[in-house]
Amino acid sequence: MTEINWMSEVEKRKESLIKDTQGLLHIKSLLDEENTSAEAPLGQGVKEALDFMLNLGEKDGFTPKNVGNLAGHLEFGEGKDLLGILCHVDVVPEGDGWTSDPFGAEIRDGKIYARGALDDKGPTMAAYYAMKIVKELSLPLKKRVRMIIGTDEESNWRCVEHYFKHEEMPTLGFAPDADFPIINAEKGIADFDMVQKESEESATEANIKVKSFFSGKRYNMVPDHAKATILVKEHQDDVVKQFIAFMKKVELEYNYHVQNEELILEVTGVSAHGMEPRNGKNAGLFLAEFLSKQALDAKAAHYFQFVSRYFFDDSRGVNLGVDYSDDISGELTINPGKLLFTSESGGRIGLTCRYPVTNKMESTKAKLDDLLLNESFAIENFSDSKPHHVDEKEFLIQTLKKVYEEQTGEEAELIAIGGGTYARSLKSGVAFGPLFPGRPDIAHQKDEYMYIEDLLKATAIYAQAIYELAKTE
């Protein structure tokens, strides 16, 4: 058989690949639990994106299946074994400060800008076109090839949970939802809330009463905005001066104004993925740190001093006594992605903890429970997704290494991440691209983009990978 030039096959389809990618990016596929129906259990936007992919696949001759309006798949080929490609079409909230419409999919300077361009709509379309190329070339395959499309990857994974209750588990597979070369280890992910329990009211009245404070919407994002509404009895000008001085010192944008005798303080940070909090600037933590040094009412003092003591300038769990690292997957990280306090109900901190492959979450949680007991806080809404690790010697990894090295001319090193991809829902699955070494990871940030060049290159890599993985039994 003549050797296939995968890149030239991609180039032939370049215009329609870009057009279909833009079509998918135009859809505002955010989780919307306030407007659900049987047809759209997670909201209209994500359902529209799922339908877009299923309709596109049907038009191109794949066998589509909608699985409970939560997930779906597109399949071709024959064989006992199944190769799975796990993608998702939901996106995180767009946030503020974009240069162009976050769902405009504008192309400038060789990049396509949109929420989801990199995570995960661009890569989903690259993998789709890779399948299309292999199918249109009528290459002989011994396995069925199936793209599994999820709609809740950025939140609770209800899509894959439902999907695998009703559909078969692929024999092996990959998720185009992280970094190249190959991610064979993913940290465990524990999400939970630390909730303030009743604290004793102080007999003396404090100078500042915190009415409300909030920052962040998602466990897995570093919050880029925080807002506090406070009542200052005396010397409000001094509080404002201290606030300005503190924000200038930490080099963050800020705002303040007085409304109905209340002082409103706002801080703008830098958003990033919660798996590496150091890549962002947590607006909530900076504002909490400032408030913790003020003369607050007892309930607020208890909350903000707790936040300051255990989370400010410490994303590794050192102050909490749970720091840990291993050679396979690196350090444990903690991201306070949701901070909330009201004078009526007290405070809570929503956290994502990304813990190493060899770390036992049971013992980490026991340490936290002990500590929190003495601090009058408690853990609620605890969920845990165990770490995932695939051995280098497996056929899947050896094949993907070969493909990556042939396509790029670079060594396919194995890497570990703190993010969770759909690969962990497979018995034998790894995350494979789309972010090439040296490219900045701007997923979950404003002005998210993907280089057109990388979109094309990833499509060629995925096409060869599908062929190499599916051509043998």
| 329-341 pLDDT tens trace | 999 999 999 999 9
Res 334: pLDDT = 98
Among residues 90, 119, 154, 297, the one annotated as catalytic is 90
- Report which of 39, 48, 43 is spatially closest to residue 31, judged by C-alpha positions: 43
Res 398: pLDDT = 97
Tokens coding 131? 């399948």
90 catalytic? Reply is yes
Alpha-helical (H) ranges within 62-145 are 121-136
Whole-angstrom distance, CA of residue 35 vs CA of residue 377 = 33
Res 426: pLDDT = 87
Among residues 153, 179, 224, 276, the one annotated as catalytic is 153
Residue carrying the six token digits 């995570």: 119
- Report which of 473, 472, 469, 461 is spatially closest to residue 4, judged by C-alpha positions: 461
- If DSSP codes are grouped into helix, strand and coil, which group holds residue 75? strand
Res 407: pLDDT = 96
Q: What is the DSSP letter of 201?
A: P
Residue carrying the six token digits 């291993």: 326
pLDDT tens-digit profile of 140-185?
999 999 999 999 999 888 999 999 999 999 999 999 998 999 999 9
Q: Which residues pair with 146 in a beta bridge?
A: 75, 84
- Report which of 442, 333, 329, 341 is spatially closest to residue 387, judged by C-alpha positions: 329
470, pLDDT greater than 90:
yes
Please state the rounded mean pLDDT for residues 48-61.
98
Whole-angstrom distance, CA of residue 114 vs CA of residue 29 = 12
Res 100: pLDDT = 96
CB 260 within 8 A of CB 211: no
153 catalytic? Reply is yes
Whole-angstrom distance, CA of residue 363 vs CA of residue 423 = 25
Average pLDDT score over the chain: 95
pLDDT bin (cut points 50, 70, 90) of residue 448 is very high
Buried b (16+ CB within 10 A) or exposed e, 118-144: bbbbbbbbbbbbbbbbbbeeebebebb
Res 199: pLDDT = 64
Beta-carbon contacts of 259 under 8 Å, excluding residues fewer than 6 positions away, are: none
pLDDT bin (cut points 50, 70, 90) of residue 200 is low
CB 347 within 8 A of CB 154: no
- Tell me which of 140-154, 199-213, 247-261, 268-282 is least confident: 199-213
pLDDT bin (cut points 50, 70, 90) of residue 373 is very high
200 vs 365, higher pLDDT: 365
- Tell me which of 101-105, 187-191, 425-429, 454-458 is least confident: 425-429
18, pLDDT greater than 60:
yes
Please state the rounded mean pLDDT for residues 359-388.
96
pLDDT tens-digit profile of 57-108?
999 999 999 999 999 999 999 999 999 999 999 999 998 999 999 999 999 9
CB atoms inside a 10 Å sphere around CB 419: 22
Res 2: pLDDT = 65
